[in-house]
Amino acid sequence: MGFYLDALDRQHLKTRLAELLQSWGASVKMGRSPLYIWLPSLLVAGLILLSPMYLVFRSLNTDISTWQLLIRPRIFMVLLRTILLVVSVTVISSLIAIPLAWLQVRTDLRLKKLWSVLTLLPLVIPSYVGGFIFIVALGPKGMLQKLLSAIWGIDRIPDINGYLGAVVILSLLSFPYILLTVKSGLRQLDPNLEESAQILGDGRWRLFFLVTMPILRPSIVAGALLVALYTLSDFGAVSILRYETFTWAIFNQYEGSLNRNFGALLSMILIVISLFVVVSEGLSRGKGRYYRSGHGVSRHPKLISLGHWQWPSLLFSIAVTVLGLVLPISVLLYWLIRGVLAGEPLLILMGPMINSITISLAAAVVTVIVAIPVAVLSVRYISVLGIVIEKVTYIGFALPGIAVALGLVFFGANYMPLIYQTFVILIVGYVILFLPAAVGSIRASLLQVRPEIEQAGRSLGHSSFYVLKTLTIPLVKHGMFAGGAIVFLLTMKELPATLILSPLGFDTLATSIWSASSEAFFAQAAAPALLLILVSAIPLALITIREDFRS
């Protein structure tokens, strides 16, 4: 017997499929994606899967005794600690970033241009540098304890190692991910929606929670996803603060054990956790539209007067800046001055600085270009293929840099010898690791663009590619700049992938910092660390100022 569906049944199934897929993304009309969208996206997904394929290969070559190690109580406790850390850091980062974004974009906060720059700069501080600074400044027998001992005779302060220290340092260093995406979303939010709610009698707080926050959900979720995956893959802070997570356990297996197959198994568990996070993010998007539904032109919203909330808002901005930026820089300056006075040689080299800037710019440009078709496919051409590809892009960000690098080394040495130990494979590694930063930001901006605008361009006889180039890309420029800025900063401070994939003799500021700090030469590490912050801060400040003046 043959099986067939009539036209009505096919239409019904298509409608049901569209409803199902809408729960994973924005609600737009389903259509066939053009070749220049789905083919690059498919190639990107295949590239990202190289490292997981390597991990699967290593895992399948393990014996039963290695698999039995996964059911030990210690592994379960590591899993619980990892989940607790991810949830805590994501929640605290959101509580810091969302108020800051609203204050800097929608209010008359004093010196808000300055705060827009300063509150983003913690993003440039590597977690391993932040961990060392945190221990030296606030740890037992640290700088704070010595000061308290000299003034009040306090010999010891509470130990900040472990969960508390890891949560604090990772939250202070990662909240700018959410700050960038939420500010981008606020700039594109239609002020008519809020003004209409005010006309209907909604108060300021009710307006914020019932109108502004739901529309900003894609931006908030995109930033929170980056924070969660960054926390999952972090090694520097958790190792220094002695809080064991899966990443630390994986590094210990790769570096201190002959059984690297067990490290591959742990990495596979990390991939499962990251996929759960990504799927949860997709389910949280809902079916709502995040662009204006009526006609009209975009305009700047009227700034809200803070009134008697001006000083509390200023104190909040100052506190975040002091803890996330001033304190780390002060400790680094202390190390630098102490080293100079002691006559120690300092690692201030033009070569590593030029190398860092060049490779970071290249990685940012390539990653943003690669992210555009992925974001467009997931928003404008909803399909199973688009959903799968978008979810796959987040895998690399959750993996430790060493796992991604070892996977590329394996495939490069065996199947791609022409690019092995070249800048090409190094940039590929950066794209795999940091693509979600660009995809999430561009996707959040694209969700706020009415698809009717693009449909109008195509109805005038223009090709889809022309509409993409002349309409869509300019409309999501805020998201592109935000995503590119994040990728640039992440590349500047990336360490494991740089150490393994870079050509021989290619030193960056991150590798210079690690070489000095691993030998406990903190004074020598201070100079390249400060230079890394300065070099990263300049383009970030320029991008931020440019976006603030254009908004």
The confidence score (pLDDT) of residue 321 equals 92
CA 51 to chain centre: 19
In this prediction, residue 201 carries a pLDDT of: 56
| Average pLDDT by stretches of 10, the chain with 551 residues | 45 48 41 74 85 79 74 83 92 93 86 86 83 75 70 70 88 90 76 57 62 74 85 81 81 64 76 76 56 48 80 92 89 83 68 89 93 84 77 75 80 81 89 86 78 72 74 80 83 83 86 72 77 78 66 55
pLDDT at 20: 43
What pLDDT score does 320 carry? 93
Left, alpha or beta for 87 (phi > 0: left; psi -120 to 50: alpha)?
alpha
Q: Are 232 and 246 in contact (CB under 8 A)?
A: yes
pLDDT digits (tens, 9 = 90+) for 189-226: 666 555 555 555 555 666 666 666 677 777 888 888 88
The per-residue pLDDT for 380 is 78
Query: Are 124 and 492 in contact, with CB atoms under 8 Å apart?
Result: yes
Name beta bridge partners: 304.
107
- 55-69 in b/e form (b: 16+ CB < 10 A) is beebbeebeeeeeee
The pLDDT value recorded for residue 29 is: 42
Measured distance CA(291)–CA(344) in Å, rounded: 57
pLDDT at residue 367, rounded to an integer: 93
CB 438 within 8 A of CB 484: yes
Q: What is the reported pLDDT for 2?
A: 41
Q: What is the pLDDT of residue 519?
A: 63
Put simply, whether the predicted model's pTM sits higher than 0.85 gets the answer no
Q: What is the pLDDT of residues 495-543, one digit of tens each?
A: 778 888 888 888 888 888 877 766 656 677 788 888 888 887 776 777 6
| Dihedral angle computed from the Cα positions of residues 525, 526, 530 and 535, in that order, rounded to the nearest 10 degrees | -20
CB contact at 8 A, 182 and 216: yes
| 141's tokens | 């027998």
Task: Give the C-alpha separation, 363 to 212, whole Å.
Answer: 34
| Helix, strand, or coil (residue 304) | strand
458 contacts: CB under 8 Å, gap ≥ 6: 464, 467
Which residue from 332, 319, 316, 320 is spatially nearest to 143, judged by alpha carbons? Answer: 332
